[in-house]
Structure 1
């Protein structure tokens, strides 16, 4: 069972990310085309359960400026993979780093501290 305090902590952090994303999109609405450089990125996951993958995909989608456009199931040694559309992807690696940070938080929420030793 997940710790309710970790879930609350994740919800608070995610709310902050939603606000930051909304401000970026609002700025672009006022100054059209200034920062937009859309791209679709492939993100192999460390998440392995349906819950973890769903939380990750949903978190990406509710954050303004990004949306999960596809999910590829794990196959053999290939991990599950999300395909993410980001409207501000001038540096795709920076976007992936941000998404990895989100995934770290999802895994810490679902698996607890020290989850790195419990991959899968």
Structure 2
């Protein structure tokens, strides 16, 4: 029920924020759209912890703040390689094992790698990611350990395991 109410609040805030028009007709259409979305989400059984990650919002925002700093730090080697006279790169493919359990956490981790300049997640299979990197010396599985740990804490860390 909490996921259902959370989805109502998020959809209503999104509708009101994006429309910017508060006439009765627009508010009625917004309410109808939200109800249709809720019925579809309920029928598709997507109202779960991953489909409505509202409890982890603060953790995810903190993670994104850290990620932005890492993206800026990773820009410098890529910029240097691009503007140098000789293209000084040494591409490599590396398999990275992740601690992430849920699809959401794996997606956050894989997208974080791809957002970081010089690296691209090529494939996700089980608990392993195949990553292409421009610089072999910085593409060790250990170099992704902090990002893996932080993405796990942001998306899966507060998960209560039912026994």
Give the TM-score, by structure 2 length. Answer: 0.59
RCO comparison, higher one (Cα < 8 Å, 6+): 1
Structure 1 residue 5 displacement after superposition: 2.3
Question: RMSD of the TM alignment (CA)?
Answer: 2.1
Moved over 3 A (4+): none
Q: Deviations over 1:21-79 (max 9, x none)?
A: 22221111111333x11110011221111101111111111110000011113xxxxxx
> Max radius of gyration: which structure?
2
Work out the CA distance in 2 between the residues paired with 1:107 and 1:39: 25
**Alignment-derived partner of residue 136 in structure 2:** 89
Q: Which one has the bigger strand percentage? A: 1
CA apart distance, 1:96: 1.6
Q: Mind listing any 5+ residue stretches in structure 1 that lack a counterpart? A: 74-79
Secondary structure, in 3 states, of the residue corresponding to 1:3?
helix
* Residue in structure 1 matched with residue 111 of structure 2 by the alignment: 58
Aligned residues: 107
Confirm or deny: 8 A CA contact 2:97 2:141 kept in the other structure. no
3-state DSSP class of the match of 2:67?
helix
